[in-house]
Amino acid sequence: MNTSRHRPGSPHDLLALVDKELSLPIRLGRLALVMVLIVTTGTIGLLGVTEPSLPVPARIAFAAIIAFGVSGSVLALRAMSGGRALLAWHRVIGCRMAVAFAAIVVLGASIIGYVTGVRAAFAVAGFGVILLGGTIALLRQAQTQFAALTARRHELAQQLKVGG
């Protein structure tokens, strides 16, 4: 049993975090997720382009889905570039995007349900509300983590000034 104690944020914790975040299985998993996002977005784009008889609302919905997919892909690829871990600020940005996209799903599905009377649209809006709640919770968590890291950075900078 390991009885050694170290405080949170110690070099041991940092090395363990780096090993975890930069490990090959984690990087391959993130790459697979980005590839699925890109392929899905491309497939929807191809479907929208090859179906000239789609009504205008469907074309607008396809364009919105493609915009979400492209923006998510760009953010994910940017965060993964350079082989480094996802930074706290990237996580905040990604969560903000997720909240905005979930809110658009709720709003769009609600409007479609109200205008057309399609009950399934209200089910999609209800699912969107669940997604919105989850993404808001993730955003709050990411903002809290970012604030803690920023405070820790400030504390370390102050210690360097006093000691240096």
pLDDT of residue 50: 80
Residues 6 or more apart whose CB falls under 8 angstroms from that of 63 comprise 48
**Residue 129's pLDDT is what?**
92
Q: Where are the domains of the chain?
A: 12-86, 88-164
**Residue 114 is encoded by which pair of tokens?**
């109200």
Rounded to whole angstroms, the Cα distance separating 133 from 74 reads 24
Query: pLDDT tens, position by position, for the chain (164 residues)?
Result: 444 444 456 667 766 666 665 666 766 777 777 778 888 888 887 777 788 788 888 888 888 888 888 887 777 777 666 555 567 787 888 888 888 888 888 898 899 889 988 888 888 888 889 989 988 998 999 899 889 888 888 888 888 888 75
